A and B are shown apart, each in its own frame.
Chain A
Amino acid sequence: MGAEIDPLDFLEIDRLLTEEEREIRDAVRAFVEGEILPGIEGWFESATFPREVAKGLADLGLLGMHLEGYGCLGANAVSYGLACLELEAGDSGFRSFVSVQGSLCMFPIRRYGSDEQKERWLPAMARGEVIGCFGLTEPDAGSDPASMRTHARRDGSDWVISGTKMWITNGGIADLAVVWAKTDEGVRGFLVPTDSPGFSTHDIHRKLSLRASVTSELVLDEVRLPGDAVLPGVVGMKGPLSCLTEARYGIVWGAMGAARSCFETALNYAKERVQWGRPIAGFQLTQRKLADMAVELNKGMLLALHLGRMKDEGRLKPQQVSMGKLNNVRVALEIAREARAILGANGITLEYPVIRHMNNLESVYTYEGTNEIHTLILGEALTGLRAYDR
């Protein structure tokens, strides 16, 4: 009892979780095993996002689970993180879906919306009846979103928005787009029903990453919205940036899910694959790979949990989330690549989850602030000197 080391929980991090947190984690894991893993190879290969699974995620209670009220669960940040981890151990596409819905769309409505906006959208979004997307990035405004061109002007009591948003997760399947646009007062957030005249989307095809997730371009051509479509509670880039901090927090955990799946697959494979008359796990070079993977996985988990506890205490700063995103996605990608190598030729097929996670993590490395941008955020926090000004 307790004497053996569990390769998947080397440091007994499990014990740092409450019973309820473990139960929530187990419930999401059971859902992933039952509803996502059996279909994911096919969805990834055919580049489809299964709507019925999205409904299941809603029924489970995952959409907006860390928000209070309006049909949301009100779970703590650690539980939300664990849910992201388990989802991403299935596929980054589903974690992305939940991040976009909960952290990028429901969060700003909850934080900056009017009572009417909250009543109108949040319960339906928690039930998965309204799917959201978050439009910040543009073809010419990526890491520097403040250079956006999308513009909203007042016309009587209405707003009229024009512009193009690019790389928008859930864009083509969304019912509601949270669009950030320049106004005379500064950047503001708009709740744009996707059936508004002048609004159209074009899905991005031929992706080799996040294939089981919809990524689209949004085109707003003189889209006319009533005056109450604007989020009243925030003006300026701190609006969208605060949403990104929320979603990045989920990624800190999610990346560890993809990494765990790769590590587990590689460990099992190495113990079974025999070359030179013995399991390849018995070779020192393989053991070094496995040991390094386990070290980074456990460190990343501790980092995620630490940030989660800080978030639950209400003291987590965006720069601290940046440290988590920078590290955990980077090490997850390294773990995925090492695991890919351990699997040899099998590592390049969809029969094993590894190359799928590896390719997905390339997106995760780029979106929600690239690795470079988070490095610069840390650099600024450390030195007080901002290295990414215009």
Chain B
Amino acid sequence: MDVVVLVKYVPDPTGTPKLGEDFLVVREGTDGTLDPGDEYAVEAGLRTVEAHGGEVTLVSMGPEVAMSAIRKGLSMGAHRGVLVTDPALRGADALATARVLAAAVSRRPFDVIFTGSESTDGYTGTVPMAVAGLLGIPALTFARKVEVGEGAVRIERQTDLGYDVIEAPIPALVSVTASAAEPRYATLKGIMAAKSKPVEQLSLADLGLDPATVAPTQRVLGITPAPSKGAGEIVQDGDGAVARIVDLLVEAKVI
């Protein structure tokens, strides 16, 4: 089984990301890491090949430092890595990113693509579906459980109220949530073995993509800080308190 995992290099999620003058996240010269959300996807990919045989290929788009995200995935146990990096991709938006990733993935046959649900820095959450759309394969999103079988993949898709069971023929793309598969630790042996695993670095030209097709179609005009949280509501003991609490719980979609 040939498994692809799409991974992203993000600024260290425990730090405060810096924005440049164009309001884009500064990625050069800042500490970064494999997106923690993608670790679940890597884990799902590793479990799939452990059960069915085959190899896990990590595919990423980003600046050259993004290679460290690929190496992290390789040290968890993935087999090979592909990084697409090109000066023309600076500021690429979600659609451009999906175009690049789809082009990189389609260079080789694959059975399942795993992704995180959304990146920890951008949070658009649209890249997985766009990649599937461009590749013309089904997208099974927000998987809290994944079962890859013969010729098909079945997931439990997280919903507000519970979950849906969805199945699709492979090849297919699956985006996973943090409940799908607790990621393993990168082992010391994995780290040392990662050095000798094959990694490719590709440019847009290598993919046969015209820079014009991946030029950003959107621009950030301005940003405002999120409003700070107001004081909470204190429900006083007395008539109507229970009803008010029930209303609040319904509003919060807890019940």
Contact = CB atoms under 8 A, between A and B. Distances in A.
B71 interface: yes
A34 interface: yes
A146 interface: no
Closest 6 CB pairs of A and B: A61-B188, A1-B29, A61-B189, A27-B186, A23-B191, A61-B187
A59 B29 contact: no
Given A2-B29, A23-B71, A60 B191 contact: no
Contacts of A20: 191-192, 195
A2 B72 CA distance: 24
Contacts of A23: 71-72, 75, 186, 191
A62 interface: yes
Contacts of A65: 188
B75 A27 contact: yes
A227 to B, nearest CB: 36
Nearest to B191: A23
A24 B188 contact: yes
Interface string B48-80: 000000000000000000001001100100000
Contacts of A387: none
Contacts of B185: 27, 30-31, 34, 56, 59-60
Contacts of A24: 188, 191
B50 to A, nearest CB: 15
A75 interface: yes
Contact of A62 (B28, B29, B186, B188): B188
Interface in A22-77: 23-24, 27-28, 30-31, 34, 56, 59-62, 65, 73-75
B30 interface: yes
Of B26, B30, B68, B186, the most chain A CB neighbours within 10 A belong to: B186
A75 B187 CA distance: 12
Contacts of B195: 20
7 contacts: A19-B68, A24-B191, A30-B186, A31-B185, A61-B188, A74-B192, A83-B188
Contacts of B189: 61, 73
B71 to A, nearest CB: 7
Contacts of B187: 27, 59-61
Interface string A1-33: 110000000000000000110011001101100
A279 B9 CA distance: 36
B192 A73 contact: yes
Nearest to B68: A19
Of B30, B68, B72, B188, the most chain A CB neighbours within 10 A belong to: B188
A65 B192 CA distance: 11
Contacts of B192: 20, 73-75
Given A73-B189, A83-B188, 20 more contacts: A1-B26, A1-B30, A19-B68, A20-B195, A23-B71, A23-B72, A23-B75, A23-B186, A24-B188, A24-B191, A30-B186, A31-B185, A56-B185, A61-B187, A62-B188, A65-B188, A73-B188, A74-B192, A75-B188, A75-B192
B30 A60 contact: no
A208 B77 CA distance: 41
Of A2, A24, A56, A79, the most chain B CB neighbours within 10 A belong to: A24
B29 A27 contact: no
A60 B29 contact: no
A23 B188 CA distance: 8
Interface in B174-228: 185-189, 191-192, 195
Contacts of A30: 185-186
B24 to A, nearest CB: 15
Contacts of A74: 192
A384 to B, nearest CB: 42
A27 B76 CA distance: 10
A178 B11 CA distance: 47
A74 to B, nearest CB: 8
A222 B191 CA distance: 46
A23 B68 CA distance: 9
Contacts of A2: 29
